Amino acid sequence: MLIRDKVENAVRLQACGYQLLKWLEKALSDGFITPEAAGMYATSEDAAYSWLDKHYLNLPDSARPERSDLRAFSNLFSTYLDCTFDLEAKPGKRLYSPNAHCFCPICSWMVQKPHLRPKQVSANARKVAERMKRTFLVRLAEARGISVSDEMLHDMLQDPNLREPVSLCTYAADLLQRLEGRAAGAASLVLWRTFAWTSQGSSKKGFVLNTDEIMIAQDVLTERLSKAEAGDSR
């Protein structure tokens, strides 16, 4: 079961982590940090902690967690290359035109591709995400003292109206584990895209992970579990 205070802290650190990734991408593009060093910082909990502790005051304000959260934040940061991004040492260049207006020689130019690229989601990652969602529902039911059958769980996981609430809560639970350095790989990205992307496959403009929405989603799932136990699937 998700506890509000813990979720709120995890959401805050997730926002810091995203800002740090944006800063890291710029540092890579500017040659301030080498891909080899970035790979070490972003895959080793201890290396990430050592680096963040040393450069704590130099971090952008939006990417700087509280000192008391630095270890958990380092754990989270070390999971990004496992869960969300691949690091490309030599990303190459691509043709760029502002707003894709015109790609003629006058209106376009070559720019470097980003070093950090979103992971390709595999069929196995999707299967892992489905298992994670089911596990979350089982644990939520247990925490609420609700008895549910496999059939009830299957119905909930197949309900399109519960698709986003289940994924949102499961992502939050996974985020809490990532703060401890335990990563589920690209399954985290599968969960994220379920509620942070549109059905057309693009990011929702201005989407921000929100604690209130997570806790509301958990209440929705709890109510549905209670109804399922009572034999009311409406």
**Is residue 103 scored above 90 in pLDDT?**
no
Which of the four pLDDT bands, split at 50, 70 and 90, describes residue 99? low
Residue 233's pLDDT band (cuts 50, 70, 90): very low
Q: Please tell me the predicted confidence (pLDDT) of residue 81.
A: 74
CA–CA gap between residue 226 and residue 116 (Å, rounded): 43
Tokens of 167: 């994924």
The mean-pLDDT minimum among 91-100, 129-138, 219-228 falls in 91-100
Question: What does the pLDDT look like over 191-200, one tens digit per residue?
Answer: 999 999 998 8
- Cβ contacts of residue 142 below 8 Å, gap of 6+? none
pLDDT of residue 77: 86
Which helix or strand (DSSP H or E) is residue 117 part of? strand 116-118
Prediction pTM value: 0.84
Cβ(4)–Cβ(176) below 8 Å: no
